[in-house]
Amino acid sequence: MITTPPELEQNGNPSNWQDVCGTGPFMLTDYVAGASVTYDKNPNYWGTTTIQGKEYKLPFVDKLVRPIILDASTRLAALRTAKTDFDYAVEWKYKDSLAQTSPELNIWSWLDSSPESMALRVDTPPLDDQRVRYALSMALNREAMSEALFGGGAEILEFPYPSYWSELYYTPIEKLPPETQEQFDYNPTKAKQLLAEAGYPDGFKLEIMFTSAGTLQTDEASMIADFWQKIDVEAELRPLEYASYYSAMMAQTHKGAYLLSTDPGTPLAIMRKLGETGQRWNPAIHTNAWFDETLAEAFLEMDETRVAELCKELNAYLLGTCAYIQLPTAYNYKYAWPWVKNWYGEVFVGAYYSGPVQAQIWIDQKLKEEMGY
Taking residues 144-173, report their average pLDDT: 94
12-21, pLDDT tens digit by residue?
A: 676 777 777 7
* Contact partners, residue 314, CB within 8 Å, separation at least 6: 271, 275, 291, 294, 295, 298
161-212, pLDDT tens digit by residue?
A: 999 888 899 999 999 999 999 999 999 999 999 999 999 999 999 999 999 9
What CA–CA distance (Å, rounded) separates 259 from 113?
A: 16
For residue 3, the model assigns a pLDDT of 60
For residue 213, the model assigns a pLDDT of 87
Number of neighbours of residue 323 by Cβ within 10 angstroms: 25
For residue 2, the model assigns a pLDDT of 54
Number of neighbours of residue 289 by Cβ within 10 angstroms: 8
Q: Which CATH number fits domain 2-111+335-370: 1.10.1060.10, 3.40.190.10, 1.20.120.1200, 3.40.50.300?
A: 3.40.190.10
Per-residue pLDDT band for 218 (boundaries 50, 70, 90) equals very high
* Max mean pLDDT range (15-24, 103-112, 225-234, 339-348): 225-234
Sequence ranges of the domains in the chain? 2-111+335-370, 116-330
- Rounded to two decimals, the pTM is 0.85
Of the chain, the percentage scoring pLDDT greater than 90 comes to 84
Taking residues 23-34, report their average pLDDT: 91
94-145, pLDDT tens digit by residue?
A: 999 999 999 999 999 988 888 999 999 999 999 999 999 999 999 999 999 9
Q: Is the dihedral of CA 17, 18, 23, 25 positive or negative?
A: positive
- Domain 116-330 sits in CATH at 3.10.105.10
Per-residue pLDDT band for 22 (boundaries 50, 70, 90) equals confident
Taking residues 23-43, report their average pLDDT: 93
Mean pLDDT (the chain, rounded): 93
For residue 14, the model assigns a pLDDT of 64
Q: Is the pLDDT of residue 274 over 60?
A: yes
For residue 85, the model assigns a pLDDT of 97
